[in-house]
Homo-oligomer: A and B are copies of this chain.
Amino acid sequence: MKIGLRHIRYFLVLVEELNFRRASEHLHISQPALTRTIQHLEAELQVTLFERSQNFVRLTDAGRAFRDGGRRVVNGMEATIDLTRRVSIGEAGALRVGYTDFAIADALPELLKRFHQKHPGITVRPHHGVTTSQLQELRDDKLDIGFVTGPVRQPGFQSRVVQTDRPICIVPEGHRLASRTSIVLADLADEDFVHGPADAWAHFYDYLFPLCRRAGFQPRIVQEAFNSVGILGLVSCGMGITILTESIYDFATGGLVPLPIRDISDVMVTEAIWASENLRLPTQHFVDFLEQLDKK
């Protein structure tokens, strides 16, 4: 015979009552049934849990230890059952969200905050990553939703624009262009650029390079940093200039000058992307949430 949750539940009620008959009534069973269940429990444990006499029933030291542990077990079981049910109806769960520097600097924080208000049981697990790595993680089912630099067209996946940014040029204080109020792209033809590695930042380059080519030059990238904070850092110590978005510039600590670029009309888009089929419930909730944003 093995110890089951039934034994523990009966035991805990008896601990409260310290009287077999009253405890058995509370449990809606007969008194002999309770007596035998406690006997079986003690036999299986090889431990006396109660001192009994006709006058009193009281816990032994070992009984107290079993009471404390038993309560934890029963509470843990109830919590587990509750959580499992909530997960099964999508009221609880985890959502793995990928994001780029561009997304986290602008729309994403507010978006996640509102999603959390609507679905407080769903834990958002943020995964930082560039567009290419997020797309791979989506295909590998390591990620539920990606926030990536668009436009992306991935077979089996759907996407939706959540953010548009007009790129700006960022130069260090004291730079020859720092006193200008705005520029055109051609002004940057002979500048040194600071940016991210070509493989990781491929999607941003796909957006930026054609614009420069149209303006008649190929940007000369002389320094690479692994994220936008690093890029801004290198710019501020005079290693070169860069083109990023205004929201990212807002994170800079100083020593930098933002310059609007008059002849860029194309915006840079950040898209949410997710699998078109077999969505997990938290993902489905997030997609519904994104779609409701349009209606409001």
Q: Which residues of B contact A182 (CB under 8 A)?
A: none
Instruction: With both chains docked as a complex, state the minimum distance between the C-beta of A51 and any C-beta of chain B, in angstroms.
Output: 11
Q: Which residues of B contact A69 (CB under 8 A)?
A: 76-77, 79-81, 83-84
- Report the nearest B residue to A92, measured CB to CB: B65
Q: Which residues of B contact A80 (CB under 8 A)?
A: 65-66, 68-70, 72-73
Q: Which of B46, B72, B88 interacts with A62 by CB under 8 Å?
A: B88
**How far apart are the CA atoms of A76 and B70 in the complex, in Å?**
8
Whether A61 touches B87, Cβ cut-off 8 Å, given contacts A2-B6, A80-B70, is: yes
Give A46-67 as 1s and 0s: 1 = Cβ < 8 Å from B's Cβ atoms. Answer: 1111000000000011101110
**How far apart are the CA atoms of A79 and B73 in the complex, in Å?**
10
Q: Using a CB-CB cutoff of 8 Å, which residues 12-51 of chain A contact chain B?
A: 45-49
Instruction: With both chains docked as a complex, state the minimum distance between the C-beta of A101 and any C-beta of chain B, in angstroms.
Output: 30
This chain's copy number in the assembly: 2
Q: Which of B45, B64, B76 interacts with A76 by CB under 8 Å?
A: B76
Whether A83 touches B65, Cβ cut-off 8 Å, given contacts A3-B5, A4-B4, A76-B76, is: yes
Q: Which residues of B contact A2 (CB under 8 A)?
A: 5-6
A113 interface residue (CB < 8 Å to B):
no
**How far apart are the CA atoms of A18 and B227 in the complex, in Å?**
42
Residue total for A at the interface (Cβ-Cβ under 8 A):
35
**How far apart are the CA atoms of A80 and B3 in the complex, in Å?**
12
**How far apart are the CA atoms of A70 and B289 in the complex, in Å?**
32
A162 interface residue (CB < 8 Å to B):
no
Whether A85 touches B3, Cβ cut-off 8 Å, given contacts A73-B73, A73-B77, is: no
Q: Which residues of B contact A4 (CB under 8 A)?
A: 4-6
**How far apart are the CA atoms of A85 and B69 in the complex, in Å?**
12
Residues of A that sit less than 8 Å from B by CB: 2-6, 45-49, 60-62, 64-66, 68-70, 72-73, 76-77, 79-81, 83-85, 87-88, 92-93, 280-281
Top 5 A-B residue pairs of the complex, sorted by shortest distance between their CB atoms: A69-B80, A62-B88, A47-B88, A4-B4, A66-B84
6 interchain pairs (CB within 8 A)? A5-B5, A45-B84, A47-B85, A66-B81, A69-B81, A70-B80
Assuming A4-B4, A61-B87, A65-B87, what are 18 further A-B pairs, CB within 8 angstroms? Answer: A3-B77, A45-B88, A46-B88, A47-B88, A60-B88, A61-B88, A61-B280, A62-B85, A62-B87, A62-B88, A65-B84, A65-B92, A66-B84, A69-B81, A69-B84, A72-B80, A73-B80, A76-B76
